[in-house]
Chains A and B, each alone.
Chain A
Amino acid sequence: MLLEVRDLHVEFHTRDGVVKAVNGVSYGVEAGETLAVLGESGSGKSVTAQAVMGILDMPPGRITRGKVVFRGRDLLGLREDERRRVRGAEMAMIFQDALSSLNPVLTVGDQLGEMFTVHRGMSRRDARAKAVELMDRVRIPAAWERVRQYPHQFSGGMRQRIMIAMALALEPALIIADEPTTALDVTVQAQVMELLAELRREYRMGLVLITHDLGVVADVADRIAVMYAGRIVESAPVHDIYKAPAHPYTRGLLDSIPRLDHKGRELYAIKGLPPHLTHVPPGCAFHPRCPLARDVCRTQEPPLYEVSPTRGSACHFWTECLDG
């Protein structure tokens, strides 16, 4: 296993109380595999990723429990300088908003080159050549010219390519992409996802793709972990989950997608709202919105039941859900 997150707990201490953003998340990614982490805002999907990358703001954030094992080492036990060597060189992150993630006063060439001067001790001239090579690699036209330009001179899709180039620079074993195409138009999104998939195959990288888009997940993921209120509620190979979800939340999400044969009829809607993380409901966090909820759901938090050797569901009544 390339990356293994085990029973991770993250809290934030705020004026309104303790926000339990991540409550016992476990997942694993193999080399060459794409894991999609699916969730809505506030589900804890990005916070988990930040904890894995070691870029969580602490304080107010605090990792209260858990392990992040990457290539056999527990990253949470490393010193900050050791951690920094892992970050960028062995695992890299792509963010949603490329414009605010790039430095506006440095040329893209300087920012890409910095990866090589800092981590690899290259000369500036060699680093510049590397930057051009990388920009070519992510198919930015006229890279030798554009390497001197600033981030604002690029379109949204091109900026996201620069982010990808930067993440790939040191050929990391793992890439975490947090909503990499959410800010892009569909035709550009297709270009960027295609590029990312191709590069991942070529370098045999593990990819953790954080998204809320069930369409993107179906397109690229091997496995999927669905998060709700800071927990993983279902984890399964991608084909299984779309065929028959084993958690009512996953089922609700899939059913609420407008489909052809539903035209003119009411869409299925999950009732209610996601919980506030300062007041997560007791028992199963999804029970106030769940059509299958019974008394036991209000009191007992469901463990991740084994549905099959490759599949888990945190629902007391997963068999019912699976049968539809």
Chain B
Amino acid sequence: MAEPAETVLEAGNLVKHYPLTRGVVLRKQVGAVKAVDGVDFRLGRGETLGIVGESGCGKSTVAKMLVNLERPTAGSIRYKGEDITRLSGRALKAVRRNIQMVFQDPYTSLNPRMTVGDIVGEPYDIHPEVAPKGDRRRRVQELLDVVGLNPEHINRYPHQFSGGQRQRIGIARGLALRPEVIVADEPVSALDVSVQAQVINLMDRLQKEFDLAYVFIAHDLSIVRHISDRVGVMYLGRIVETGTDTEIYDHPTHPYTQALLSAVPVPDPEARERRERIILSGDVPSPTNVPSGCRFRTRCWKARERCAREVPVLAVPEPFAADGGPAAHPSACHFAAEKQVVP
């Protein structure tokens, strides 16, 4: 194992609740959508943290909080030790430069009335100190070149590009301010399979070239494994298991991770009979009405009485703590146990 890299971003007990109110004149809060309910992680320089989970698990809300598009209800986000949730004005603006975002949908995240040059160069209007006015066109062309687009297309509009090329434009915009962290929310899920690999390779190359740290949010488990150093599995607003990619994919100890991995179709027809598939019953509960105790217990085949009573903490489960093997990574389950699910 290499020395852990310097921490650039750290989330501490991050919470986002959206209040549910009733009444027009006398508004009162009747509940809350607990989109994110206590998430911790740390991200080292040049490292990739993958966050996986199904729709509604809160992974996109985490992304938005990291780039300050949403204010957390509670908790902290530290960029190099400084809590950015408490900053405002100029100090906040300075920090935001270093944390940029790449969005999922390359069709709606680019303004159709702006040229590519304006889109990629817009960050310089907000942070003019990064690039002097006369230098911008050259910089934008450089960026287009870096992401594999023709620099001469600087005056074209988004509709003149394909989906994969548009995602490259989005990435170029994210890179414009030379950030240290890029938060990518499902950056390839809207793309065709043959184009996904191109964009993943591009992100890989840029990471090495610019020493970027990624928070890579996706539902495609094989892509997350390919690109991530560490992975966090989210369920209903919390990280239920976290570890290195090998720990999570080859030695999962949380039943949800095991079910998730076993449900992923494997592109190998020979594996069809060999695999054990864990089919979960039912749907994810509503985040307005989170189950008591362990939030996964309503769909868990291992659930016992204790699971309804006690909230499991995200920590290395006791049986594995001593041996220090690959199963010794944080897992929020009272009955954590290893189970080989991927053939």
Contacts and interface: CB of A to CB of B under 8 A. Distances in A.
A248 to B, nearest CB: 12
Contact of B193 (A40, A155, A190, A259): A40
B287 to A, nearest CB: 13
A213 B265 contact: yes
Interface in A66-99: none
A257 B265 CA distance: 12
B264 interface: yes
Given A214-B267, A218-B267, A274-B192, A188 B226 contact: no
Q: Which of B54, B193, B260, B283 has the most CB of A within 10 A?
A: B193
A164 to B, nearest CB: 16
A185 B55 CA distance: 7
B311 to A, nearest CB: 22
A263 B226 contact: yes
Given A215-B266, A239-B269, A269 B225 contact: no
A187 B263 contact: yes
Interface residues of A, number: 45
A171 B227 CA distance: 45
Chain B interface size range: 35 or more
B194 A218 contact: no
A256 B271 contact: no
Contacts of A155: 283
Interface string B275-309: 00101100110000000000000000000000000
Contacts of A256: 193-194, 196-197
A208 interface: no
- Secondary structure at chain A's binding surface: helix, strand, loop or mixed? helix
Q: Which of A158, A214, A242, A260 has the most CB of B within 10 A?
A: A260
B221 A186 contact: yes
A239 B271 CA distance: 11
A217 B268 CA distance: 9
Nearest to B57: A185
B245 interface: yes
B164 interface: yes
B156 interface: no
B201 to A, nearest CB: 5
Interface in A241-288: 242, 252-254, 256-260, 262-263, 266-271, 273-274
B225 A263 contact: yes
A273 B162 contact: yes
A215 B267 contact: yes
Contact of A187 (B54, B164, B201): B54
Q: Which of B259, B262, B283 has the most CB of A within 10 A?
A: B283
Contact of A242 (B54, B267, B279): B267
A190 B267 contact: no
A259 B55 CA distance: 24
Contact of B271 (A218, A259, A262, A268): A218
B206 interface: no
A198 B270 CA distance: 19
Given A186-B219, A267-B226, A219 B194 contact: no
B251 to A, nearest CB: 14
A217 B272 CA distance: 11
Contacts of B263: 186-187, 189-190
B283 A274 contact: no
A41 B190 CA distance: 11
Interface string A215-232: 111110100000000000
A102 to B, nearest CB: 18
A304 to B, nearest CB: 21
Nearest to B55: A185
Given A40-B192, A218-B272, A256-B193, 12 more contacts: A219-B269, A239-B269, A253-B194, A256-B196, A257-B267, A258-B222, A258-B225, A262-B226, A263-B226, A267-B226, A273-B162, A273-B165
23 contacts: A40-B193, A185-B54, A186-B221, A187-B54, A187-B279, A190-B263, A190-B265, A190-B279, A193-B265, A194-B277, A214-B193, A218-B267, A219-B266, A242-B268, A242-B270, A256-B194, A258-B222, A269-B194, A269-B198, A270-B194, A271-B198, A273-B164, A274-B194
Task: Rank and list the top 6 A-B pairs by shortest CB-CB distance, nearest first.
Answer: A215-B265, A258-B226, A185-B54, A269-B197, A190-B263, A256-B197
